Amino acid sequence: MVDGSAAVSFCVRDGITALSHLYQSDPLRVLFPRPEPREPATGVLVTTSGGLVGGDRLNVTVRSGTGAAGRVLGQAAEKIYRSVGDDSHINIRLEVARDGWLEWLPQETIVFENARLRRLTVADVAPRARLLSGEIVVFGRTAMGEQVTKGLVREAWEIYRDGRLVWADAIHIDETLKAILGAPSGFDGAVAFASLVYVGDDAAAQLATARDLLAAVGHDSNLRVGATHLGDVLVVRWLGRETRRLREVYGGFWATFRHRLAGYPQTMPRLWQI
C-alpha cells in the first residue's frame, strides 16, 4: 500500500506568479514545465506507481495565493485497479485566495473491474477569487471493449466560500454498479462521466455561456449534458457512451470556457493532446 502526498502553492513575486511551496512524497511527483505564452504558472502531477490498488491513499493540496494565477494538470490517466476489499482513497484540497485564479485539470480516472475508489475534492475559494476544476471517470478500458460490473465509485465534492460550505455533492455507485450504468434512470448505458465545477462571484452570470457552449456541440446521441448553478457555484456534467467523444467535447468546452472567463488561450495543454 502507498500513502503519497503532494502540496503546491503559488504566490505573486516581483509582479508574476511563482512557486512558493512544494512538498512531494512517493508515488506523487510534481513537474513544472515552462508555460506556453499567456498561460498561468503550471504544475504537472505524476503518479509514478502507475495506478492505485486497494488501500492506497493519495493526498493533494494546491493553493493559489492573493492575486496569483496557477494551474495543475494530470500527466496521464489515473488507473484504479482491482481491490480484494480495501478502498483506494484520493483526497484533493484546492484553495484560492482573494483575486487568485486556479485551474485543476487532471486527466481521466479509469476504474477497473472490482476497483474501489473514494475521491473527495474540497475547495475553499475566497471572495473575488476564481476556481475552474473538474474530473472525468471512465468505467474500464473502453477502447478494448471492457465492461465494469462490480466495484465502488464515490466521487464527492465540497465547496466553501471564504470558509463557509455552499455546495456539497456526491455520486455513489456500489455493488449495483452494472444495474446503475445500464438503467435509463441511471447512467443509461454511459461508460464515462465528467464534471466541471466553476466557483466565482460571476458563476450565475456564466450559466448562459456554459449552456451556449453545450448547445454549440449540437445533438449527439452518445452524450447527455447539463449545466446549473447554485449561488457562486456553476456545475456542468456529461454522460458519455463513447469515452473518446466525451473527452473531446469536454476538452473543447474547457478551452473555450476558460478563454471566456479569463482571456487565456483557447487551447488545451499539450499533455491533453497526446
Domain parsing of the chain, residue ranges: 3-273
pLDDT, residue 274, reads: 63
pLDDT, residue 216, reads: 85
pLDDT, residue 148, reads: 87
Instruction: Say whether pLDDT at 272 is over 90.
Output: no
Of all residues in the chain, the percent with pLDDT exceeding 90 is 81
- Reported as a single tens digit per residue, the pLDDT across 185-227 is 888 999 999 999 999 999 999 999 999 999 988 788 889 999 9
Report the distance separating Cα 166 and Cα 3, nearest Å: 30
Report the distance separating Cα 69 and Cα 132, nearest Å: 11
Beta-strand runs (E) in 14-149: 16-25, 28-31, 41-47, 57-64, 69-74, 78-80, 88-96, 101-105, 109-111, 116-125, 130-139
Closest CA to 108 of 82, 139, 130, 81: 139
Least confident of 108-117, 175-184, 248-257: 175-184
Closest CA to 168 of 177, 159, 176: 159
- The values of phi and psi at residue 37, to 5°, are -55, 135
Whether pTM > 0.85 for this model: the answer is yes
Q: Are 28 and 58 in contact (CB under 8 A)?
A: yes
- Reported as a single tens digit per residue, the pLDDT across 92-129 is 999 999 999 999 999 999 999 999 999 999 999 999 99
pLDDT, residue 191, reads: 93
- Strand ranges of the sheet holding 16-25, from the earlier edge strand across to the other edge: 16-25, 3-13, 57-64, 88-96, 116-125, 152-161, 164-173
**185 compared with 88, residue with greater pLDDT:** 88
pLDDT, residue 104, reads: 98
- The amino acid sitting at 163 is G
pLDDT, residue 219, reads: 80
Instruction: Say whether pLDDT at 143 is over 80.
Output: no
Q: Mean pLDDT, to the nearest integer, of 235-242?
A: 96
Mean per-residue pLDDT of the chain: 94
Q: Mean pLDDT, to the nearest integer, of 140-161?
A: 89
120 DSSP 8-state letter: E
What three-state secondary structure class fits 27?
A: coil
Instruction: Say whether pLDDT at 175 is over 80.
Output: no
The three three-digit cell numbers of residue 188, written as one number: 443509461
108 DSSP 8-state letter: P
| Gyration radius of the chain's alpha carbons | 18
Beta-strand runs (E) in 219-264: 223-230, 233-240
The three three-digit cell numbers of residue 105, written as one number: 485539470
Q: Mean pLDDT, to the nearest integer, of 235-254?
A: 95
Closest CA to 43 of 109, 108, 124, 103: 103
